[in-house]
Amino acid sequence: MTLLDILPSLRHAVKPRIDPTLWPYTTHVDEAARLTVGGLALTDVADEAGTPVTVFDEADFRYRAKRYRKDLPRTKVIYAAKALLTTGIARMAAEEHLGVDVGSAAELMTATAGGVDPARIVYHGPTDDLSAAAGVGRVVIDSVLDIACLARVLTAPQNVLISAADPELVRCVLREPLLHPVGLHCHLGTQLSDAQVYGDAVGRLLRAMADVRKRHGVVLSELNIGGGHAVPYCSGDPVLDVRALSLAIDDALDAACAAERFPRPTIVVEPGRALVARAAVTVHRVAAVTRGRVIVDGTTPFGARCTVTVANRHALGPAEAKSVVGRNGVEIVGDADLPCDIHPGDLIAVAGTGAYHRCSGALVAQPPLVSVCNGRLRTLVRRETVTDLMARDRG
């Protein structure tokens, strides 16, 4: 029993242990003061999988996928797999009726191995991998070189999206009998929280589609406005309101289609970070504590703006700002709000590590990625070893 149990009124004066806008959907604090995700205490996950370990909340991913489809009922939702992809996550995306956007032949192979229908795949990646992309639902064309390379390997008609940066590529695409231009594709930026940015882009790009009709006699029927949807990493960070996005898109389409007398195209969005960033936490074990620094067993940098908490117990003292660093001295989180009594053996959970955190330029073994759901744990990606790192080295 804690002081908060004895004096419940204190709960209103104490800062909450976790901010639900930052942590996975199923995150709770159990009776033993341990952080739990997916029905499992993170202490138990650490005991079974070792540390560091990245823990993926399957329920969080499915919840956000369903919310996107509900809040954007007239829009196709495609998961941007470059944020995080395994065969297991590809399978979840397929089960939630999402398409998948891939950026390489390896991502394409992973998606199809996970059961994603090739017809629901958008390929937007290097020209060198275009031969592997033939036959998927859409291929994004960025250049004349893309057109030549793709046309050379085709044996059947292929639907393509033209980069909105150069709509005149339509002229070159139309010269290839097996290439069928069906729409425009754009990327507006990253961590965008203003829905009107997307509305303005829809209006602008629909006018470009009307111009393509005028110049080339082709009516493009699809407009892919990419992703870049903002998610919070710290309390108070801006986040894109998906319902506001839906309204901004609809208003822009109504106005632009009426002005240009253009048939309403299918709108496609490609959230990646917005679907997986908050679905995962990474758990580290504290190795040492020095003045202003907490040294943990992880080494992969997550960036200075993340939220952390002690995962194995309640704090017994006031919080203070400390830097969390790996054993190699690389900062994982700067100015982390941690209890002054933190000590070796404690577990630290870092929120928001689901997107773009499994790639590193350094020769550092990646931690395992495990999925949790309804009290069960399964390994999505095993722990990388030094042997793995050296396997491709030929001196």
Q: Which tens digits make up the pLDDT trace of 291-313?
A: 889 999 987 655 557 899 999 99
Q: Which of 82, 70, 50 is nearest to 377 (CA)?
A: 50
Domain ranges of the chain: 13-57+278-389, 58-276
**For the segment 75-109, what is each residue's pLDDT rounded down to a tens digit?**
999 999 999 999 999 999 999 999 999 999 999 99
Q: Which of 312, 352, 321 is nearest to 339 (CA)?
A: 321
13 has pLDDT over 70: no
**Bridge partners (DSSP) listed for residue 293:** 290, 323
The mean per-residue pLDDT over the stretch 193-205 comes to: 98
**For the segment 330-368, what is each residue's pLDDT rounded down to a tens digit?**
888 888 889 999 999 999 999 999 999 876 555 677 899
Cα 284 to Cα 49: distance, rounded to the nearest angstrom: 11
Backbone angles phi, psi at 136, to 5 degrees: -80, 175
The mean per-residue pLDDT over the stretch 33-57 comes to: 97
**For the segment 120-142, what is each residue's pLDDT rounded down to a tens digit?**
999 999 999 999 999 999 999 99
pTM of the model: 0.92
CATH code linked to domain 58-276 = 3.20.20.10
pLDDT value of residue 202? 98
Backbone angles phi, psi at 310, to 5 degrees: -75, 130
The mean per-residue pLDDT over the stretch 228-244 comes to: 96
pLDDT value of residue 360? 55
Options 2.60.120.10, 3.50.50.60, 3.40.50.1820, 2.40.37.10; CATH for 13-57+278-389 is 2.40.37.10
Secondary structure (3-state) at 92: helix
Tokens of 356: 């773009």
pLDDT value of residue 361? 54
Beta strands in the chain (DSSP E): 28-29, 35-37, 40-41, 53-57, 75-80, 99-102, 121-123, 138-141, 158-163, 179-185, 222-224, 266-269, 280-290, 293-296, 308-310, 319-326, 331-339, 347-351, 369-373, 376-381
Provide the Cα torsion 330, 336, 296, 232; round to 10°: -80
